[in-house]
Structure 1
Amino acid sequence: MTQPGGLARTLSHRTMLMIGLGSALGTGLFFGSGAAIGVAGPAAVVSYALGALLIAVIGLAMAEMATARPEPGSFGAAAGRYLGEWAGFVSRWCYWAASVIALGGEVVAAGAYLTYWWPDVPLVVFVALVGLTIVATNLLSVGSFGRAEAAFSTLKVTALIAFILIGFVLVLFGAPGRAATGWGNLTEHGGFLPNGLESIWLSMAIVMFAFVGVEVIPIAAAEAENPRRSVRTAMRALVARLGLFYVVAVLLIVTLNAWTVTASAKGLEASPFVRAFDAVGIPAAAGVMNFVILVAALSTGNAQLYGAGRLVHSLAVDRLAPAFLARTNIKGAPIVATLVSALGLLLAVWLAETGVADAFTKLVSIATFSVLITWLLALASYIVFRRTGDVHGSVHLPGGAAVAGIGIAGILAVMATAFKVPDMRDAALVGGLWLLALLVGYALTRGVRRTKVTIS
């Protein structure tokens, strides 16, 4: 079935469920957890638990609005309806920017993971190959995207469960020729809070990026066969599993190795998951885990391009972006909006070619600030949505508007790390300039539209 915007409702219930399970399991966990552990030490476990609670509030609020009105633009369209057209404009362009930047980071990460096996091949070659694969998957149809994400998600979830099971065996029982690791690493090497209580807060700037991806579920509602049922099931499953997977996985990472060892890795040299297996003498498992992390980067990059393209398409449908961006192909894929959103791949290739130091970390910080603005507007929209009570969704945020208000306070606390974290400070500066540019762009867009109406 095709909608007014040209998008087709072809995502099945099972596909939506698998997209939900895998959309937020990306390099933010498999790679970024090392940076968070470097800031907070073993207490990073607490940071990820707080992050899971915050993203549950954001995800359920978005899902409630999406199931009430499963339309193109999702939370961006809701922001426009409940806060004003300017908010819908800013929300969608902010998420687009965050997705494009994150896409570049995921592609660079995927290329780096391929060098694990072929270290002599230039990184830029792998980055280009990964980028082309992601673009091709998104341009075919929403069905091809759904099938790819379902396959990626199945592998990621299976591997993560296997890692957790093997990790507990190594901690409690050990392996042939190796004694059990035990729980000593949680309190040794400076204690559970080696950098003080403040480090839990400071690490949240890194931690929250790991949860970017839950937005794909409400975005995909516009292309689901049964959006009310699929979004409800997918979001509930995602919220329940994110807390379990993230907290337990990070707990095992800081238990299998001293946190100082995990934090010593710089750039994209190694994932904490790979290092954990290397340290206990299971090199074959480390290679398998590296493959899983590669798949995670492909999956998250695939989802980022999907989300970016759909939101730009919805802006064009609402006449807040050039009309040509609303074009779709015969299978309902917004081909022009997707190609424009692939700009992140060009950024990734440039970073790989020039070898910019700590490129992934810088991309993550800027993308995080942009998505924080989107989350803020989504929760503010939700509060107005609940007060109007005109339409009811099939999934509900416990506590409603009051809990959404607590979520806003949590997001502002994460943004406040800019006063202490240099990367976040730089991201806040760039993000602030981007927000100002968007407001000016909206004013100009509105002026042009008024002029056209007057002339006609």
Structure 2
Amino acid sequence: MNEIKASLARGLTARHIRFMALGSAIGTGLFYGSSSAIQAAGPAVLFAYIIGGAAVFIVMRAMGEMAVKHPVSGSFAHYASRYLGRFAGFVTGWTFAFEMAIVAIADVTAFGIYMGFWFPQVAQWIWVLAVVLLIASINLMKVKVFGETEFWLAAIKVTAIIAMIIGGAALIIFGFNAPDTETATGLATLMSAGTLFPNGFVGLLLSFAVVMFAFGGIETIGITAGEAADPAKAVPAAINTVPWRILLFYVASLAVVMMLFDWRQIDGSASPFVQIFDGLGIPAAAHVLNAVVITAAVSAINADTFGAGRMLYAMSEIGHAPKSFGRISRNGVPWMTVVIMAVVLLVDVVLNALLPEALFTIIASIATFATVWVWIMILTSYLAMRRKEAAAGRGPAVAREYAVPGGTVAAWIALVFMVFVVVLLALSPATRVALYTGIAWLVLLALLFKLLVRPAAPVKHDSDSLLG
């Protein structure tokens, strides 16, 4: 593990990591995927984001408690290996890399859709190709360049959403009406279907497939532990912002847009934020918001590529991935993993040319499975760690001020919820393919582990050692 410390430059500051956390929470899942969630649940989708966000916060705190104790690159795959066994670490690491690749494909697909708002005559795949080349270039530079890029991209998103919430609230307060309608903005528009649950409780449940996708990638904060200048402070500081980010960026922003415009007219042809302001007869706002969602997509793809690359690098160090993934450039970047991610994203160029309409829903549901599976492994690793400590007669792994709120009880509740979300994927034909794909993926990993991964010599860990 000394090689990891020597090879990967610690160029990410607390400021970088905090805004990476913001960037991972504000991406395609909010700006585009929320249209599918709104169509499924109506205004009840706000409850879905609150419930899902609370569960994700418990996952993040569990990961943070382990990350403070073991600040390593590819953190939660290491925790799974340490507390659940090498196969669990192998599955967790590769599933996270798969998640990042799938989420990135969804993000670049959304990028092509956003650009279609301005250039409808240009084929979607052309924009996908352009953004893939841009992201590959950024990720081959020094990690500090990546951190600064994410900082400014996230700053634009945060500023824009806050401005949108304030501006939208002002329109609601002053009684602005959309053109060709007599319905006043506010609760009347939100309740245009006569209820918060227009599609019943089942609609709320079905929305979780997209809602949980929206939070996917937020665990990338844990990946930064290996390159953070002070992970013991930077990682907890970023994780602790999760609750208010969820309330502000998801619940508040979606509540505002559904009070401004009849949510039943959201059709997924563009970002719901852009469609709503365009429908309100405020074209300048629609164009500004389209620029923002494009920025959000680039930021998300950037973070996805970083996360997958660092995970594969860490796995190559312990024999869970090809050694070539551990090759480091002069800039201290695992360049081979960046190349691999670029190749994977180039496949999306072909998919966008063949399936431009249906691709996003399929990809998002598959990403949901991979995302939730990684969260399940994080929670299971945390519970195993706590059992191990209890058996040894020791207290919690870190200072009590950064323990999981509610401890193992909260972790168990979050774990049951995550398993429930996986089961929900089977309820809708549109998301059922994700369940089939996920099961096939896990079977494939089991075969690869048995055939390709050599048994490791027994390693004795003390309470403060890193994973072998």
What TM bracket, shorter-length normalisation? over 0.9
SS at match of 1:140: coil
Q: Equivalents in 1 of 2:123, 2:6: separation in Å? A: 41
Q: Equivalents in 2 of 1:446, 1:209: separation in Å? A: 30
Pick which of 172-181 and 410-419 moved more. Answer: 172-181
Match among 432, 444, 450 for residue 437 of structure 1:
444
Q: Equivalents in 2 of 1:315, 1:357: separation in Å? A: 35
Q: Equivalents in 2 of 1:341, 1:115: separation in Å? A: 24
Q: Equivalents in 2 of 1:242, 1:196: separation in Å? A: 24
SS at match of 2:439: helix
Output one character per residue of 1:405-439: Cα deviation in whole Å (capped at 9) or x when no partner.
11111101111112311132111001100001101
| Residue in 1 that maps onto 2:431 | 424
Contact 1:2 1:9 in 2 (8 A): no
Output one character per residue of 1:98-117: Cα deviation in whole Å (capped at 9) or x when no partner.
11111111112112212222
**Aligned 1:144-183 pairs, distance under 5 A:** 144-175=145-176, 181-183=185-187
Give unpaired runs (5+ residues) of structure 2. Answer: 458-468
Q: Equivalents in 2 of 1:356, 1:261: separation in Å? A: 21
Q: Equivalents in 1 of 2:14, 2:210: separation in Å? A: 32
What is the CA-CA distance between 1:337 and the residue it aligns to?
1.6
| Residue in 2 that maps onto 1:382 | 382
Q: 1:348 and 2:348 equivalent?
A: yes
Contact 1:28 1:207 in 2 (8 A): yes
Match among 182, 188, 191 for residue 192 of structure 2:
188
Contact 2:49 2:246 in 1 (8 A): no
SS at match of 2:330: coil
| Residue in 1 that maps onto 2:255 | 251
What is the CA-CA distance between 1:120 and the residue it aligns to?
2.0
What is the CA-CA distance between 1:256 and the residue it aligns to?
1.3
- TM-score of the aligned structures, taking structure 2 as reference length: 0.91
What is the CA-CA distance between 1:2 and the residue it aligns to?
7.7
Q: Equivalents in 1 of 2:209, 2:24: separation in Å? A: 20
Q: Equivalents in 2 of 1:202, 1:310: separation in Å? A: 33
**Aligned 1:55-94 pairs, distance under 5 A:** 55-94=56-95
Give unpaired runs (5+ residues) of structure 1. Answer: 451-456
| Residue in 2 that maps onto 1:235 | 239
| Residue in 1 that maps onto 2:466 | none
Contact 2:114 2:271 in 1 (8 A): no
Q: Equivalents in 2 of 1:240, 1:177: separation in Å? A: 30
Output one character per residue of 1:3-58: Cα deviation in whole Å (capped at 9) or x when no partner.
44621111112111111122221010011111001011111111111111111111
Contact 1:107 1:127 in 2 (8 A): yes
What is the CA-CA distance between 1:125 and the residue it aligns to?
1.5
Q: Equivalents in 1 of 2:118, 2:190: separation in Å? A: 32
What is the CA-CA distance between 1:137 and the residue it aligns to?
0.7
What is the CA-CA distance between 1:86 and the residue it aligns to?
0.4
- TM-score of the aligned structures, taking structure 1 as reference length: 0.94
The list of structure 1 runs, each at least 4 consecutive aligned residues, that deviate by more than 4 angstroms after superposition, is: 175-180, 447-450
Contact 2:28 2:107 in 1 (8 A): yes
Contact 2:73 2:311 in 1 (8 A): yes
What is the CA-CA distance between 1:356 and the residue it aligns to?
4.3
Q: Equivalents in 2 of 1:251, 1:53: separation in Å? A: 18
Q: May I ask how many residue pairs the two structures share in their alignment?
A: 446
Pick which of 337-346 and 383-392 moved more. Answer: 383-392
Contact 1:30 1:271 in 2 (8 A): yes
Contact 1:370 1:431 in 2 (8 A): yes
Percent identical among aligned pairs is 37
Q: Equivalents in 2 of 1:408, 1:103: separation in Å? A: 25
| Residue in 1 that maps onto 2:461 | none
Output one character per residue of 1:130-153: Cα deviation in whole Å (capped at 9) or x when no partner.
111111111112111101110111
Output one character per residue of 1:83-107: Cα deviation in whole Å (capped at 9) or x when no partner.
0000100001011111111111111
What is the CA-CA distance between 1:223 and the residue it aligns to?
0.3
Q: Equivalents in 2 of 1:102, 1:194: separation in Å? A: 29
Q: Equivalents in 1 of 2:335, 2:140: separation in Å? A: 6
| Residue in 1 that maps onto 2:272 | 272
What is the CA-CA distance between 1:174 and the residue it aligns to?
3.3
SS at match of 2:7: coil
